[in-house]
Amino acid sequence: MAEIRRSDIHKPKKKRKRIIRWFMLPLLLVLVSVVAYGAHLYSQAETVMKDSYQPVDRDSKRASVNPFEENISVLFIGVDDSSKRKFDSNSRTDALMLATFNKDEKSVKLLSIPRDSYVYIPDKGFYDKINHAHAYGGVEYTLETVENLLDIPVDYYVKMNFDAFIDVVDALNGIEVDVPYTFTEQDSRDRAGAITLEEGVQTLNGEEALALARTRKLDNDIERGKRQQEIIKAVIKKAANVKSLTNYTSVIEAIGSNMTTDLRFEEMTSFIDYAVAGTKMNSETLNLEGADSRINGVYYYQLDEVALEETKTTLQKHLGLTSETDLVTEPETDNSTVTDAGGESSPSY
Q: What is the pLDDT at residue 7?
A: 38
Residue among 231, 235, 226, 219 at smallest CA distance from 285: 226
Q: What is the pLDDT at residue 9?
A: 34
Minimum mean pLDDT range among 115-119, 163-167, 287-291: 163-167
Residue 64: what residue type? S
Mean pLDDT, residues 82-88 taken together: 50
Residue among 166, 10, 148, 98 at smallest CA distance from 315: 98
Q: What is the pLDDT at residue 13?
A: 38
Q: What is the pLDDT at residue 87?
A: 47
Q: What is the pLDDT at residue 41?
A: 66
Q: Which is it for strands 107-113 and 282-287: parallel, antiparallel or unpaired? A: parallel
Mean pLDDT, residues 303-311 taken together: 97
Measured over the CA atoms of residue 157, residue 162, residue 168 and residue 174, the dihedral's sign is: positive
Q: Domain ranges for the chain, please list them.
A: 17-321
Minimum mean pLDDT range among 120-134, 188-202, 265-279: 265-279
Tell me the CA distances in angstroms from 240 to 158, 254, 258, 276, 318, one per residue in order: 20, 17, 22, 7, 24
| CA-only gyration radius of the chain, Å | 20
329's enclosing H/E stretch is none
Mean pLDDT, residues 245-265 taken together: 75
pLDDT tens per residue, range 321-345: 965 555 555 444 433 333 344 433 3
Class for the domain spanning 17-321: alpha beta
Confidence at 80, pLDDT banded by 50, 70, 90: low
pLDDT at 40 over 50: yes
Q: Which is it for strands 93-102 and 72-79: parallel, antiparallel or unpaired? A: antiparallel
Name 75's Cβ contacts closer than 8 Å, sequence gap at least 6. Answer: 96, 97, 98, 99, 142, 143, 146, 154, 156, 157, 158
Q: Is 100 helix (H, G, I), strand (E, B) or coil?
A: strand
Count of residues for the chain? 349
Report how far residue 255's alpha carbon sits from residue 168's, in angstroms, rounded to the nearest whole number.
8
Report how far residue 153's alpha carbon sits from residue 60's, in angstroms, rounded to the nearest whole number.
8
Name 178's Cβ contacts closer than 8 Å, sequence gap at least 6. Answer: 200, 201, 230
Mean pLDDT, residues 19-34 taken together: 43
Residue among 275, 254, 246 at smallest CA distance from 48: 254
Report how far residue 306's alpha carbon sits from residue 114's, in angstroms, rounded to the nearest whole number.
17
Angle (deg, nearest 10), helices 25-33 and 221-240: 10
Cβ pair 97, 226 in contact under 8 A: no
Q: What is the pLDDT at residue 328?
A: 55
pLDDT > 90 fraction of the chain, expressed in percent and rounded:
36
Minimum mean pLDDT range among 8-17, 98-107, 208-217: 8-17
Mean pLDDT, residues 173-191 taken together: 90
Cβ pair 210, 188 in contact under 8 A: yes
pLDDT at 217 over 50: yes
Report how far residue 95's alpha carbon sits from residue 20's, in angstroms, rounded to the nearest whole number.
7
What's the mean pLDDT when you consider all of the chain?
A: 77
Residue among 175, 219, 220, 164 at smallest CA distance from 24: 164
pLDDT at 293 over 70: yes
Q: What is the pLDDT at residue 338?
A: 38
Report how far residue 49's alpha carbon sits from residue 60's, in angstroms, rounded to the nearest whole number.
24
